[in-house]
Amino acid sequence: MFMTDWTQWIGRVETRDDLVTAAPVRGLTATLDREAAEVIPGMALPPLWHWLYFLPSERQSGIGADGHAKRGDFLPPVPLPRRMWAASEFEFRAPVRVGDAVRRTSTIVDVTHKQGRTGPLAFVKVRHEIRRNDDADPAIVEFHDIVYRQARQPGDVDPPPVVAPPATWQREIVPDDVLLFRYSALTFNGHRIHYDRRYVTEVEGYPGLIVHGPLIATLLLDLLRRHRPEADVAAFSFRARRPTFDLHPFSVCAAPDTDPRKVRLWGADHEGWLTMDAVATLR
């Protein structure tokens, strides 16, 4: 049934239009604890800040139990209850600027499933192409991997953690309720795992609120901007390795790669375990 029904979603396309306005840029600047700067037309967005646009706009009656839009419209109706942002890859081909009229074309390129250690898993891969002002070629190409899994069961054992490597640059982040709320608000993300402590602990079985994967990825590239403000990121990829909870501070870290065009970045929890790894490729 999985292979017959869910693969029918491959090739499905969704298009959204937006305008790159200044207010979300000011909001994320404050949320990342950066000094405020004047946001003027023509200013280029930092990498990943395009996530401030093309926000979901599902009617309240169309929201599912987890706070996301109900499944079966653009994304397939995978019946597994837990949904996580697993990984992404980006090509930043041209800058997106404040004032640009932008269009995002999203295509489901793959739907697969496998049996994991703790039960069935489903993976959906979406390709996003973002164009500016009716350009023929995309300014940003993004591949977004979503994983669905069953509810946590008694006796489930987490995979063994991996020790994070030594860092050249490092910043400690305190993921309090306000930080998670502000990022959820900026991205209009209703997923209850980020703000509803009763839901995330009693329904999904996690010990605390989960820090957004995209927020951690944004903090990683923000760390690069703080130490290498001249860096021009041409490509970026990240993969979540372990959930990060709001129960303790965590760190975003970076170190130069043996390839001078690349920088390795990662997240580490309070015990030093790797939570996300990433690579930025510079022009």
Compute the distance between CA of residue 48 and CA of residue 219 in angstroms, rounded to an integer.
Answer: 10
For residue 142, what pLDDT is reported?
98
For residue 77, what pLDDT is reported?
83
Cα–Cα nearest to 50, from 264, 229, 214? 214
Where do we find the tokens 């890859």?
89
pLDDT digits (tens, 9 = 90+) for 20-50: 999 999 999 999 999 988 899 999 999 999 9
Compute the distance between CA of residue 202 and CA of residue 60 in angstroms, rounded to an integer.
Answer: 23
SS3 279: strand
Domains with residue ranges and CATH for the chain: 8-282 (3.10.129.10)
Pair 255, 264: CB distance under 8 Å:
yes
For residue 245, what pLDDT is reported?
96
For residue 25, what pLDDT is reported?
97
Compute the distance between CA of residue 183 and CA of residue 166 in angstroms, rounded to an integer.
Answer: 28
Compute the distance between CA of residue 226 and CA of residue 223 in angstroms, rounded to an integer.
Answer: 5
Compute the distance between CA of residue 189 and CA of residue 172 in angstroms, rounded to an integer.
Answer: 24
For residue 3, what pLDDT is reported?
45
For residue 68, what pLDDT is reported?
84
SS3 259: coil
pLDDT digits (tens, 9 = 90+) for 191-201: 999 999 999 99
pTM: 0.93
User: C-alpha 110: how far from its chain's center?
Assistant: 18
For residue 1, what pLDDT is reported?
41
For residue 165, what pLDDT is reported?
96
Which residues of the chain have a pLDDT value below 70?
Answer: 1-5, 155
Do strands 13-19 and 233-240 pair parallel, antiparallel, or not at all (unpaired)? unpaired
Question: Diameter of the chain by CA atoms?
Answer: 54
For residue 79, what pLDDT is reported?
81
Q: How far is CA 50 from CA 37, 121, 142, in A?
A: 18, 29, 11
For residue 238, what pLDDT is reported?
98
For residue 69, what pLDDT is reported?
82
